[in-house]
Amino acid sequence: MNIINFFEALFQYEFLQKALFTSVMVGIICGIVGCFIILRGMALMGDAISHAVLPGVAISYMLGISFFFGAVITGVLTAIGIGYVSQNSRIKHDMAIGIMFTSMFAVGIVIITLMKSSADLYHILFGNVLAVRMSDMWMTLGIGVLVIGLVVLFYKELLVSTFDPTMAQSYGLPNKWIHYALMVVLTMVTVASLQTVGIVLVVAMLITPAATAYLLTNRLSVMIYLAALFGVIASVFGLYFSFTYNLASGATIVLVSALLFGTAFFFSPTQGLVWKALKARKNRVELMR
Amino acid sequence: MEHALKIERLFVSYLGNQVVKDITFSVKKGSLVGIIGPNGAGKSTLMKAALNLISKDKGDVRIFGEPLKKWKKNIAYVPQRSDIDWDFPITVIDVVLLGTYPKLGLFKRPSKNDKEWARECLKTVGMELFGNRQIGELSGGQQQRVFLARALAQKAELFFLDEPFVGIDVASEETIINILRNLKKEGKTILVVHHDLSKAESYFDHLLLLNQHMIQYGASEEVLQPEVITKAYANQFSFLQPKGVNVTS
Ligand SMILES: Nc1ncnc2c1ncn2[C@@H]1O[C@H](COP(=O)(O)OP(=O)(O)O)[C@@H](O)[C@H]1O
Ligand SMILES: [Mg+2]
C-alpha cells in the first residue's frame, strides 16, 4: 500500500474523508491554541486539563448526552481546583496540577470500567479516527471556527497578556478571565481531538507543533501559522500511516509531529543545534590559524 | 492644584507577611521622584500596589484626585527586567507597538499611524535600527530603552519605572535619564525605583526612602543625609557612607 492507494481509498471511502477532515481541523486548532499554551508556560496545565476531561466524557456517555458538556465542565472545574489549591496553601502550582489531574483521570477510569466498556475506554484514550461520525465532524468544525474566531478577535489582548501580563493588567485587561477562557478553549480542543489522537496524546499535538514553530520564527503571528501548518502535516501523514499500517492514529500523528520537531531542533536556521555546532567549530578553527 | 499621585496609608502583604507598612505621600504634577531603599525593602511592591497590580491590605490611591480606574490607560509601567520573558517571539518594534494598545480598545488593530508613532518612539530612544530584532537579542541597556519607548508610545500622563538603570551601559543610562527629564519638562509625572544612591541626587527632585516603613520623603538633598539613610540601611552596613555607596539589588 502506498500514497496512491491511500488517495484512491480517500476518494472511495467516506469514513476516510471524515477522518481526514477532522484530523486536519484538529491539527489546525491544536497548533494555534498550543502556541499560547507554551508561551504562557502552561504545557503541564495543558496535559492536566486534557486528562481531566475523562470523567466528564465518561459521565456524558453514561447519560447519553454529547460529551462536549461533560468534558468542558470537568475541565474547567479542574482548572479552578488547581488554582484554588496552589493559591491557598504552600502547595506549588505543579504539585497541584499533578494531584488534581491524576485524581480526575483515575475517577474517569473507574467510571468507564464500571460501565464495562473497555473498548470505548481504549478509543477515548488513544483515539479512533476511522470511526468519526458525521456529528463528531460537525462538532470539531464548530469548535474550530469558534477557536479561530476568538484568536482573530482577541489577538491583541492575547499577545499582551501572554508577553507582559503585568502591562495587560495595568491597563485593565482581565488576565484571570483570559486565563479561564483559555482553559475552556483547552477543554474544547481536547474534546475535538478525542477521536483523532485521544486524551492521552492531545498534549503532544498542543505542544510539539507549537514548539517546532517556536524554533523557527521571532514573531507570534508567524508562529501561529507555522504551528497550524505543522499540525496539519502531522495529521495528514499520521492518518496515512495509521490507515496504511493499521496503527493507532493518535500514535502515528504524534510521531510525525515529533519527527518535524526533531528536524527543526537540529536544522532550524537560527536555533538549530547542527548549525550552531558547525559555526562554533568554524570559529574555533579560525582562531587556531 | 490636585496632586498627580496621592497615596494614603498603604499596607501590603504577601501571604500574611506585611512588607509595605503605612506609606503616605503625594507627588506634584511634573516631578521626577526616586523610590530608594535596600534590597527587599518593598519598592517594587509599593509600585505594584499603587497601580493595583497586586492587592493591598489597606490604603487609598488617587490620581489627580480621582480613583486609579479612571487613569489606568494614562499610566505607563515599565516592569523590572526579571519580569519579562526575553525568549518570547516578538520583535523590538512590536514591543513598542504594544504601547498603543491601551487606547485602541477591543477589536481594533493598530493603524498605519500607530505604527508610524511606534517607529518615532523607537527613534527617540535611539533604537530605530533594531526594529526587526527579536527582543532578547539586545543588550540590557538596549532592552530597557525599548521598554521606555513602549511607555512613550502609550502617551501617558504618569510613568512608573522599576529599576530602569540596573545592569545597563552608561550611554543607555544617559539616554534614559535625558528622556525622563524631557518628559518632566512636558509636565509628565515620573516615579522611578532606583538603588544607586550616588546618582540619586542629580537624577531626582524628590526621593522616597523606605524600608517597609516610610523612612523619609522630601527633596533629594534632605533625604540623602547620612543620619536619614542610615535608618533605612541600618542592618545592612554599619560602615555606610551615603554618597558614593552603590547598593546593588
Ligand atoms: N510574590 C511574592 N510573594 C511573596 N513574597 C514576595 C513576593 N514578591 C516580593 N516578596 C517579598 O516582599 C519583600 C519586598 O519585595 P520587593 O517589593 O520586590 O522589594 P524591592 O523591590 O524593594 O527589592 C521582599 O522581602 C520579598 O521577598
Ligand atoms: Mg524590586
Task: Please work out, in degrees rounded to the nearest 5, the angle formed at the alpha carbon of residue B116 by the alpha carbons of B113 and B120.
Answer: 135
B75 touches chain A (CB under 8 A): yes
**Cβ neighbours of residue A98 closer than 8 Å, sequence gap 6 or more:** A48
How distant, in Å, are the alpha carbons of B197, B201, B212 from that of B244? 7, 11, 24
Q: Which of A3-7, A269-273, B60-64 has the lowest mean pLDDT?
A: A269-273
What's the CA gap between B22 and B1, in Å, rounded? 25
Residues of chain A contacting B104 with CB distance shorter than 8 Å: 156
* Pocket, ligand 1, Cβ cutoff 6 A: B 14, 19, 37, 39-45, 249
A268: pLDDT confidence band, cut at 50, 70 and 90?
Answer: confident
Mutate to test the pocket of ligand 1, among B13, B17, B36, B44 (most ligand atoms within 8 A of CB): B44
pLDDT of residue A204: 93
Q: Identify which ligand lies nearest to the alpha carbon of B249.
A: 1
pLDDT digits (tens, 9 = 90+) for B117-128: 999 999 999 999
pLDDT digits (tens, 9 = 90+) for B207-241: 999 999 999 999 988 888 888 888 888 766 544 44
Residues of chain B contacting A218 with CB distance shorter than 8 Å: 89-91, 134
* Beta bridge pairs of residue B20: B12
Atom of ligand 1 nearest to the CA of B54: 1
Q: Which three cell numbers mark A208?
A: 510539539
pLDDT of residue B241: 47
Mean pLDDT of chain B: 91
Task: Say yes or no for a CB contact (<8 Å) between A219 and B77.
Answer: no
Query: Cα torsion for A145, A148, A153, A156, to the nearest 10°?
Result: 170
- Per-residue pLDDT at B248 exceeds 50: no
Residues of chain B contacting A214 with CB distance shorter than 8 Å: 89
B2: pLDDT confidence band, cut at 50, 70 and 90?
Answer: confident
A287: pLDDT confidence band, cut at 50, 70 and 90?
Answer: confident
In this complex, the residue of B48, B51, B84 whose CB is nearest that of residue A164 is B84
In this complex, the residue of B53, B85, B134 whose CB is nearest that of residue A170 is B53
Q: Phi and psi dihedrals of A120, rounded to 5?
A: -60, -45
**Cβ neighbours of residue A136 closer than 8 Å, sequence gap 6 or more:** A18, A22, A195
Q: Which of A47-51, A86-90, B9-13 has the lowest mean pLDDT?
A: A86-90
Q: Is the separation of the CB atoms in B71 and B63 below 8 Å?
A: yes
Task: Say yes or no for a CB contact (<8 Å) between B79 and A172.
Answer: no
pLDDT of residue A125: 84
In this complex, the residue of B77, B83, B107 whose CB is nearest that of residue A153 is B107
Task: Say yes or no for a CB contact (<8 Å) between A170 and B77.
Answer: yes
pLDDT of residue A128: 82
What's the CA gap between B100 and B110, in Å, rounded? 7
Interface list for chain A against chain B, based on CB atoms closer than 8 Å:
39, 153-154, 156-157, 159-160, 162-164, 166-167, 169-172, 214, 217-220, 222-223
Residues of chain A contacting B107 with CB distance shorter than 8 Å: 153
- Among A218, A222, A226, the strongest candidate for a mutation testing the B interface, having the largest count of B CBs within 10 A, is A218
Mean pLDDT of chain A: 90
DSSP string computed for chain A: --HHHHHHHHHH-HHHHHHHHHHHHHHHHHHHHHHHHHHTT-HHHHHHHHHHTHHHHHHHHHHTS-HHHHHHHHHHHHHHHHHHHHHSSS--HHHHHHHHHHHHHHHHHHHHHHTT-HHHHHHHHH--GGG--HHHHHHHHHHHHHHHHHHHHTHHHHHHHHH-HHHHHHTT--HHHHHHHHHHHHHHHHHHHTTTT-HHHHHHHHHHHHHHHHTT-S-HHHHHHHHHHHHHHHHHHHHHHHHHHT--HHHHHHHHHHHHHHHHHHH-TTT-HHHHHHHHHHHHHHHH-
pLDDT digits (tens, 9 = 90+) for A211-251: 999 999 999 999 999 999 999 999 999 999 998 998 888 89
- Per-residue pLDDT at A180 exceeds 60: yes
Contacts A–B by Cβ distance under 8 A: 63
pLDDT digits (tens, 9 = 90+) for A117-142: 666 777 788 888 888 888 889 999 99
Q: How far is the CA of B48 from the centre of ligand 1 (A)?
A: 11
Q: Which residue of A has its CA nearest to B109?
A: A156
* Beta bridge pairs of residue B10: B23
- Per-residue pLDDT at B249 exceeds 80: no
